[in-house]
Structure 1
Amino acid sequence: MVKDIITGITNTEIGFITDVNGIAYFTVNDETTVGKELWKSYGTANGTVLLKDIMPGVNSSEPSILINMNGTLFFTAIGEGSGRGMFLNRI
């Protein structure tokens, strides 16, 4: 384990782990944001962080289908006012 994202007895459900240039990108519900959001990890506790709460507030962006294409992360997520769409890791 690199980091206990949800401390205590609750299990952390990590999904869609994808390596892009040695950085692990994944989805997780950390119980501080609503629903699943996009995280990244450099393989250390301090380097494992929420990348961005794409849709802050009462809704989850539910990122999924993370794909490494020539060193760029592409994924789908629900954006504010746009529905589900394709995003780059430059958010």
Structure 2
Amino acid sequence: MTVGSGSCDVHHNIKPTTRRVALAQTERSVQTFPLEGAWRCCGDIEHVFTHFALTLTVWKLNANAAPSNNGWWAKKSELDGEALPTLFKKVLSAALS
């Protein structure tokens, strides 16, 4: 997921919580980001679904460029009015704090 609010982009990398998923992703140890810049780690968040737990590492980039047409974009001032899933709200909370 990449979302933006004003000059803040949020991008996450999924940290697998099961051995099977972890084994499938062992070759993906290099971080990749959708834009070049000085990305800053905002920490990990945890979310529990019905059948599994998910841990995400949230990364943040403050950018001066206008957002592309890819993804979903909203102004920071409009985020409270968006109907977002709880997981997305956790990601935004970590990125904007």
TM range (shorter): 0.3 to 0.5
> TM-score, with normalisation over the residues of structure 2?
0.33
Larger radius of gyration: 2
Name the one with the larger strand percent: 1
> TM-score, with normalisation over the residues of structure 1?
0.34
